[in-house]
Amino acid sequence: MNSSRPSFLALTPTNAYVVPGGRFRELYYWDSYFTMLGLQASGRQDLVADMVNDFAFLIDAFGHVPNGTRTYYLSRSQPPFFFEMVGLLSRDDPASGYARYLRELRREYAFWMAGERGLPPGTAYMRVVSLPDGAILNRYWDNRDTPRDESFLEDSELSEAGSRPSASVYRNIRAAAESGWDFSSRWFADGKHPTTINTTDIIPVDLNALLYGLEDAIRLGCKVAHDRACTAEFAARMHARRTAIDRYLWDAAHGVYFDYRWPAGERITRISAATLYPLFEGAASNMQARAVGIAVSAVLLQPGGLVTTTVATGEQWDAPNGWAPLQWIAISGLRRYGDTALANSIACRWMNNVSAVYRDGGKLVEKYDVIDTSRAGGGGEYPTQDGFGWTNGVMRRLAGLYPARVCSHPPTVTTRCRTDRPCRAPQPGQMVPRAGIEPAT
């Protein structure tokens, strides 16, 4: 470790990597997968392989991938995309990559599942929740309950603004940081105010879909390794998780996947772009995928792509912002289930949005306003960053799937905007009209 930069975590000197950009000068976990999509499309498979090895090194060294390569990030991870990164090593035969990195895949899985054995129904331990019927699903967590080193003042002020015990507030802030959605109305008990943040009470759709994918990757890797017991175990784990997702997170009445507040035993009926993760990981049935597509088209589709949530709180992971990783999750998931029309519409709206901001300012940025496409996104704890790794990666990958001639004319909005008035960016606290889906009370 470089003594002049003592918070940096050392990586192997032989493996290169790409950082997100702007204020983010270290390697970040889930950002990197989307950056790697663009590297692969640009013929830099060498960098993809180096970055996979960097993340494998972190798992071997710490038992998990930290949020980022800083010592103060060691108490939490981020959405588990390592298996997806490994899958990029050989798109024609991902199972061979899973077998090669089976040790690291299993070790990361053990990190997320620590404490599951013998956990009584209706209780939780770290990142594991045992539901009333004994089903196991997961939540975001952080091993510390103090202000974040990188945002000490902001966290302290938020704790002082409410009446809850400080340790609880800090833990829930940190857990939201592990989610990558820092911050969003998804994690607020009232759906509006950060003082009500209760991330650890929530079983999130995206995390559990990714862990379903990780279980599948381990199953396939064990099959290649001729480990029959492991193959059978993880096939059973996949089945159990999908059954639990369908029981607790799928809402047939609305045709979407919702997050679940496990202490209260209720779905949180606020749709977000996370509803598309089960499609991305193949955890949805064809019927469920069709229903999600209809709901997404009616509720989340905007002139510049998919909006992250339907409420404007001033947080960056809420309306009116859209983010490159969520566009890719949606496009890839919808294409997987044959909904190419909606996938194409999202892709073209997003690409036109990014291109317009680039023409105006000469740069790609971290996030975008998908309702008022004349500007970059905003909100949150810090200014919108230039760069930007995952925007670059997703745009480069989409450029190969959707040539300029395909998206030469911005698609018109036919499902979201009323004919008697234009779409407008919502004001902070204002709800975007939704198809019968209201915030939890």
> CA–CA separation, 435 vs 91, rounded Å?
38
Per DSSP (E only), the strands in 275-408 are 301-302, 305-306, 321-322, 364-365, 368-369, 386-387
Catalytic annotation on 54? no
Long-range CB contacts (< 8 A, 24+ apart) of 150-154? 150/70, 150/72, 151/381, 154/381
Q: How many of the other CB atoms lie within 10 Å of CB of 141?
A: 23
Q: Output the six-digit token pair for 333.
A: 């998931």
> CA–CA separation, 210 vs 223, rounded Å?
20
Coil, strand or helix at 119: coil
> CA–CA separation, 62 vs 285, rounded Å?
36
Coil, strand or helix at 41: helix
Q: Which residue do the tokens 């008990």 mark?
A: 189
Catalytic annotation on 366? yes
List the one residue out of 334, 81, 339, 98 whose CA is nearest residue 220.
98
Task: Write out the H or E segment, with its range, that includes residue 221.
Answer: helix 205-224
Q: Output the six-digit token pair for 434.
A: 């939704």
Task: Write out the H or E segment, with its range, that includes residue 239.
Answer: helix 228-244
Please identify which of the residues 50, 84, 108, 182 carries the catalytic annotation. Answer: 182
Q: How far is CA 55 from CA 10, 63, 168, 397, in A?
A: 12, 11, 30, 22
Task: Write out the H or E segment, with its range, that includes residue 130.
Answer: strand 128-130
List the one residue out of 282, 361, 280 whose CA is nearest residue 325.
280
Q: Which residue do the tokens 């291109």 mark?
A: 355
Q: Output the six-digit token pair for 220.
A: 């396939």
List the one residue out of 82, 115, 117 whose CA is nearest residue 221.
82
Q: Known catalytic residues? A: 182, 366
